[in-house]
Amino acid sequence: MTYGDCIRASITALKANLLRSILTSLGIIIGISSVIAMVAIGAGAESRVKESIESLGSNIMIVLNGSRTTGGARGGTGSNITLTEEDAAALQRDVASVEVAAPSVQGRFQLVFGNTNWSTNIHGITEEYMTARNWQVDQGRGFNDTEYRSAGKVALIGATVAEKLFPGEDPIGKVIRINKVPVQVVGVLAAKGQTPFGQDQDDTSFIPITTAKKRVLGGRWVKSNLVSQITVKVRDAQDVAEAEREVTTLLRQRHRIPEGGQDDFNIRNISQFLAARAESTRVMGILLASVAAISLVVGGIGIMNIMLVSVTERTREIGLRMALGARRRDILTQFVVEAITLSLLGGLIGVALGIGGSHLIAKTGDWPVLIEPQAIMMAVGFSAAVGVFFGFYPARKASKLDPIDALRYE
């Protein structure tokens, strides 16, 4: 009996019990379709996250102030301010892989315009910051050298701030108050949207670092060269790890930290977030695989069950086939092929439903889905494997029947 004969015989047998065949495949159908849909959704989410992480800049590193340890109690990050503008200058000058190192200060303040107000993060920046974070000015202009150097009373506001403070109005040229200090809005920043972690990047405003220290933050900042953070842009994203080591070495040297002493600064980069993403993707993958495995095993047991029933029901047919010259191998093949047909049928219906479901989710939920051909091939391959694995025992049972007993079976 050729495989073609086996497949034809299987289809005839499955069609004879169509409803039962479909019900039997249900386990596989549900398993495969949910896995296909979940993988598609996961892959879609992954691609969206990757996109937005890359928009943040994968070659960006942020150096933050470290924590102070007082009598064993450690303060939070930034409680011990040691980073200086000279550190930033040194990083840019002495570390070859660093393109720019931008010092900045920051604080949260209320902005007031007329009788509207809005609290946001104010960054005191230098020109390098604009380069490092790739900020563009959408309307108006950026700060000029004089404003940077001599504490000009000017501000660049983010798109969200513009929307909140100046609904339906042109913000350019308007005077707002930051912590009671009047500054003129000279430009609106081009919108960047959300970070992968859900923060609105456009809810921000910039003023020159000199202005921030002298006029807004005041107090100890006025005459100091300290900064809140240094944003470092590495020339090539591949050199981030190497640059991080060099930056660490240089800063430890400059801060005179003895060997074995703790850093008084923290370095954050996007690749750490990427690593965290990779980890959560891995966990998601394991979860999906276990869902798939469980549903395939359950589906497989369903198939095994129905194949055992089928072998019993068709005992006389098996006996007849043996009497007509079927070898044990022919019977084995016939029933294994039948089980594979059943599970493949389930797999294919499952793939179709999974793709349909994914598209439905994509449409209704405005959620990106990505159907990968490998996922489909895996699904089909696994459902066939389930057929072989769970069909083998019933088929073997059929092939071991004694021809005469089978023929006489009532």
Partner 1 sequence: MPAPLIVTENLSKTYHIGGGDVRALVDLSIAIPNGEMIAIMGPSGSGKSTCMNLLGCLDSPSGGSYRLDGQDVAQLDSDALASIRNEKIGFVFQQFNLLARATALDNVELPLTYGRVPRRLRHDKAARALEAVGLGERMDHRPSQLSGGQMQRVAIARAIVNSPQVLMADEPTGALDSRTGAEIMALFQRLNGEGITVIVVTHDEHVAAHAKRILRFRDGRLVSDEPVAAPIRAADAVAAMAVPEAA
User: Footprint of partner 1 on this chain (CB under 8 A)?
Assistant: 1-2, 5, 12-13, 16, 316-317, 320-330, 403-404, 407
Q: Which is nearer to partner 1, 161 or 398 (CB)?
A: 398
Phi, psi of 269 (to 5 degrees): -140, 165
- As measured in angstroms, the least distance from the Cβ of 375 to partner 1 is 36
Q: Which is nearer to partner 1, 123 or 321 (CB)?
A: 321
- As measured in angstroms, the least distance from the Cβ of 372 to partner 1 is 39
* Angle formed by the axes of helices 328-365 and 373-399, nearest 10°: 150
* 371-377 own/partner pairs: CB under 8 Å, 24+ apart: 371/36, 371/40, 371/43, 372/39, 372/40, 372/43, 375/35, 375/36, 375/39, 375/40, 375/43, 376/36, 376/351
- As measured in angstroms, the least distance from the Cβ of 347 to partner 1 is 25
- Those residues with Cβ within 8 angstroms of residue 141's Cβ, 6 or more apart along the chain or in another chain: 186, 187
Q: Which is nearer to partner 1, 39 or 406 (CB)?
A: 406
- As measured in angstroms, the least distance from the Cβ of 320 to partner 1 is 5
Q: Which is nearer to partner 1, 276 or 404 (CB)?
A: 404
- As measured in angstroms, the least distance from the Cβ of 393 to partner 1 is 20
- As measured in angstroms, the least distance from the Cβ of 332 to partner 1 is 12
- As measured in angstroms, the least distance from the Cβ of 310 to partner 1 is 13
95 burial (CB, 10 Å; 0-12 / 13-18 / 19+) is buried
Q: How far is CA 128 from the centre of its chain?
A: 30
Q: Which is nearer to partner 1, 9 or 370 (CB)?
A: 9
Cα(207)–Cα(179) distance, integer angstroms: 12
Q: Which is nearer to partner 1, 20 or 255 (CB)?
A: 20
Task: Categorise residue 256: left if φ over 0, alpha if ψ from -120 to 50, beta otherwise.
Answer: left
Q: Which is nearer to partner 1, 328 or 359 (CB)?
A: 328
Cα(232)–Cα(103) distance, integer angstroms: 9
Q: Is residue 66 a contact partner of residue 228, using CB atoms and an 8 Å limit? A: no
